[in-house]
Amino acid sequence: MDKATTRTGGRKFFFRVGALMLAALLVAGVYYGPDVYGLLRVSHEIDTISQETAQLGPWPRATDSCLYCHDGPKGNAGTQLYPRLAGQQEAYLRKQLKAFASGERNDPTMTPFALSLTDREFESMVANFSRMRPQRNETFHGEPARIARGEALAKAGQCVSCHGQQLEGRDVFPRLAGQSYDYVVDQLNNFKSGKRHDASGMMPAVVNGLTPRDIEDLAQFLASR
């Protein structure tokens, strides 16, 4: 980035350091060197951040609202409690948002959220997360023995037949690789209790025979992929 752009960034920056004030700061730089230097560097960084986020679409973006709980701006989620959506298939995202809206997958947060979306917003959510590059679940640290046990359970349950060879998701079947640990445990329990419906009956059939420990081990394996 050239110097002129950096200056513009500084002038129009977050705290609206006005042109006059910036000039004053530059003069005062003799005494306050580090502060001015820091301010220019921060301005530069904020310019970079705003350019990066502009790639997600023109501001204001409806999808920014999702990022407080899901994924973060670059798909760099740290949470295990809220699901990671980066890299999910369009068909899956569409199906789930519709199920939230209809109440088929009733959730006090997501149902009113899905109901509030315009068609355009709805599709922007689907597009945004299907295009976001999925990342490894770096903040999950499983136990090797339990992960291995989970892997065997996944094989026995034939997860890959629907969810893809790398558990990367396929069509309406979600990506499971690197999913948030606690979220997976919750969902498997919900399928087991019937709280989450699956008209095909596939997920209840898979989880019905699983003990709570099985479910945890399976989630450890999936989160660590």
Q: To the nearest 10°, report the CA torsion of 72, 77, 83, 84.
A: 80
Q: Please tell me the distance from the alpha carbon of residue 126 to that of residue 75, in angstroms, as a whole number.
A: 14
Whose tokens are 């109440």? That residue is: 103
Q: In whole angstroms, how close is the CB of 29 to other proteins at the nearest point? A: 13
**How big is the site for other proteins, counted in residues (CB under 8 A)?**
59
Classify residue 59 as exposed, middle or buried by CB count within 10 Å of its CB (0-12, 13-18, 19+): exposed
Binding mask 145-184 for other proteins (x = CB under 8 A): -------------------------------------x--
Other residues' Cβ atoms within 10 Å of the Cβ of residue 162 = 18
Q: Tell me how far, at minimum, the Cβ of 155 lies from other proteins, in Å.
A: 28
Task: Please state the closest distance from residue 15 (CB atom) to other proteins, in A.
Answer: 4
How many other CB atoms sit within 10 Å of the CB of residue 77? 23
Of 113, 170, 189, 204, which lies in the binding site for other proteins, with binding defined by CB under 8 A? 113
Nearer to other proteins, 73 or 212 (CB): 73
Enumerate residues 64-83 that contact other proteins by CB under 8 A. Answer: 64-65, 67-73, 76-82
Strand segments (E) across the chain: none
12 counts as binding other proteins under rule CB under 8 A: yes
Q: Is 54 in the site for other proteins (CB under 8 A)?
A: yes
C-beta of 82 vs 90, nearer to other proteins? 82
Whole-number Å distance between alpha carbons of 106 and 185: 18
Candidates 28, 35, 136, 155; binder of other proteins (CB under 8 A) is: 35
- Shortest distance (Å) from residue 113 CB to other proteins: 4
Using the rule CB under 8 A, is 102 a contact of other proteins?
Answer: no
CA dihedral 111, 113, 173, 188 (to 10 degrees): -50
CB 174 within 8 A of CB 92: yes
Q: Considering only CA atoms, which of 67, 95, 68, 69 is closest in space to residue 80? A: 69
Q: Catalog residues that contact other proteins under the rule CB under 8 A.
A: 8-9, 12-17, 35, 38-39, 41-54, 58-62, 64-65, 67-73, 76-82, 108-113, 115-116, 121, 139, 182, 193, 195
